[in-house]
Chain A
Amino acid sequence: MTETIKDKVRAFVIENFLFGDTSYDLADTASLIENDIIDSTGVLELVAFIEDQFGIVMGDADIVPANLDSLARISAFIEARVGAPATA
């Protein structure tokens, strides 16, 4: 399950923010912002992806670096939320 979520997130990030560049060495814990992989509009795309793919409703307070600023954090956030009720 965990691998599936992380794989899906990684595939989305590579396809949309690295434009399919699989040669980029993207570590699970690397900051997406600090490494200039996503910008403001990228975060909006990422949120839309998480909501559509995993059926999670993200409140404003969920859209923070602690939940979204690396592949590992995104995967952990989704994993914790899948099946759990959304918080406001």
Chain B
Amino acid sequence: MRFEQFLIGNAGRQAAKTALVTDRRRLSYGEFDDLTGRLAAALARAGVKRNDRVLVFMDNCWEAAVSIFAILKAGATFSPINASTKADKLAYIITDCEAAAILTQAKLMPIVAEAQALSGNSDLFVASTAAPNGQTPADAISFETCLAEVATPVPHRGIDVDLAMLIYTSGSTGRPKGVMMTHRNIDAASESITTYLRNEPDDIILNVLPLAFDYGLYQMLMAIRIGATLVLEKSFAFPHAIFERIREEGVTGFPLVPTMAAMILQMRDLEPGFLPSLRYLSNTAAALPPPHIARLRELFPGARLYSMYGLTECKRCTYLPPEELDRRPGSVGIAIPNTEAFVVDDEGQRAPPGVPGELVIRGPHVMQGYWRNDAATERMLRPGTNRWEKVLYTGDLFQADEEGFLYFVGRKDDIIKTRGEKVAPKEVETVLHAHPGIAEAVVVGVADPVLGHAIAALVVLSDPSLTDKDIIRHCARHLEDFMVPKIVEFRTELPKTDTGKVSRRLAAETMEPAQ
């Protein structure tokens, strides 16, 4: 089934029920369905066709939610882009996926205009929300005008093995890769996850994570699937204010990443049971330290706590049934329903319990590959036991216990996880090397109590007048926020292997964990 059918179906059954709550607007299922239909018709009128790629370059606002479902209703493929993305990367993505359109916000239009000029794509259809003064930026069509279109269904003839979304992830070559997911992939992943989370239509799910991050995006997709309510917030910068929202809205589901858990645990005045409406909390991206799990359970005694693990390439791999948390707090559990997760050795044979190997995933949630990148696809998707299918080699090292519960051991490559997001060191190094005052640079992750890992740059200068702030500022101009180094150290030379290659492993060994 195509995924927009869940919205259409729920709007038919419960038009008056609240689908989406944001700081500026509440939308019922009926209104959400109507607005997405209008925008879909406007996209079709603008020339967007079945399977065209449309970028959603917005922060967490109601317009982003409407855009995503409108693109699906137009028969096209959406690609959510982090709102802190800079012009050169946006230009790369516009070119890489041959975007037909981009839907954005007035505050981001300067980045869009610069990216469009860099990409040389003058055919791009650009629609933007209005600025606070009510003006639509020049060079863009008004988002409000698009919503004035009549919501005539678009006869796109799309089916559920068409691409629904393209999610760009940090690539080890320094360039982002587009993960291809069909409607059927999203249907399978969201069905599996809502099953083990025991989601109900009366759930009210709070999401503070970016919709450009698949964990944040799926909160919306799952809420719409089950006919629940999504409360969308822009960030977790002010936890106390978020807790007020949880109380006001009677939130039942609260997805976390370890950084958010660390922030909650730093708060001083929390009393156990202070948010009684919560039924469940979930955590993914990295296992929580057992003391954090214990404290969360103390603070949220009435809520189930799910430890989970996943990667964009299959959305989610594993979850730990909450009743197992006492016995194996360090485990991220078992394969999610209707999928398999197992550990293999270097020859691809199943590894016995206790022996680390690569985690392999099999199931209907596994991606179709990376957009126009066969070499990278072949490294991740490899032949399985059955001749007709490919399985996903995650690049993550795991081991299983005697009962098959899985434990994260480490990465096979140098990918850094910070604030729950993956960062390829090469992508940051490429930006550092582009600075004329930097002779050499290497990027590593340093253990950090809040971020998980902090990004650290070890730099050899050719311009000795540069300061650490100059370098961080340079990176902030070219990279999304979460990729910008927190630590810059100056070196006279970088650690190298015997063959003279700069070694990230040796570099990491020279760093102290952050305090």
Which A residues are closer than 8 A to B by beta carbons?
15, 18-21, 33-36, 38-44, 59-61, 63-65, 68, 88
Contact = CB atoms under 8 A, between A and B. Distances in A.
B148 to A, nearest CB: 26
Interface residues of B, number: 29
Interface stretch (B31-39, B134-142, B264-272): B264-272
Given A38-B237, A61-B269, 20 more contacts: A19-B476, A20-B467, A20-B470, A21-B473, A35-B107, A36-B83, A36-B481, A39-B235, A39-B237, A39-B481, A40-B260, A40-B263, A41-B259, A41-B450, A42-B237, A43-B238, A44-B263, A60-B239, A60-B267, A65-B238
Contact of A44 (B240, B266, B481): B266
B461 interface: no
B236 interface: yes
B234 interface: yes
Contacts of A68: 238
Given A19-B469, A19-B476, A64 B235 contact: no
Return the 4 tightest CB-CB contacts between A and B, nearest first. Answer: A19-B473, A20-B469, A60-B269, A19-B469
Interface of B: 83-84, 107, 234-241, 259-260, 263, 266-270, 419, 450-451, 467, 469-470, 472-473, 476, 481
Contacts of A19: 469-470, 472-473, 476
A39 B473 CA distance: 16
10 contacts: A20-B473, A35-B107, A36-B481, A40-B236, A40-B237, A41-B451, A44-B263, A44-B450, A60-B268, A64-B241
B401 to A, nearest CB: 34
A61 B473 CA distance: 32
- At the interface, is chain A mostly helix, strand, loop or mixed? loop
A36 B88 CA distance: 18
B261 to A, nearest CB: 12
Contacts of A20: 467, 469-470, 473
Contacts of B238: 33, 43, 63-65, 68
Nearest to A14: B469
Contacts of B84: 36
A43 B236 CA distance: 10
B428 to A, nearest CB: 15
A20 B468 CA distance: 10
A34 B141 CA distance: 23
A40 B451 CA distance: 10
Contacts of A34: 107, 234
Contacts of B476: 19
B281 to A, nearest CB: 17
Contacts of A36: 83-84, 481
A61 B162 CA distance: 48
Nearest to A43: B237
A39 B269 CA distance: 22
A21 B235 CA distance: 24
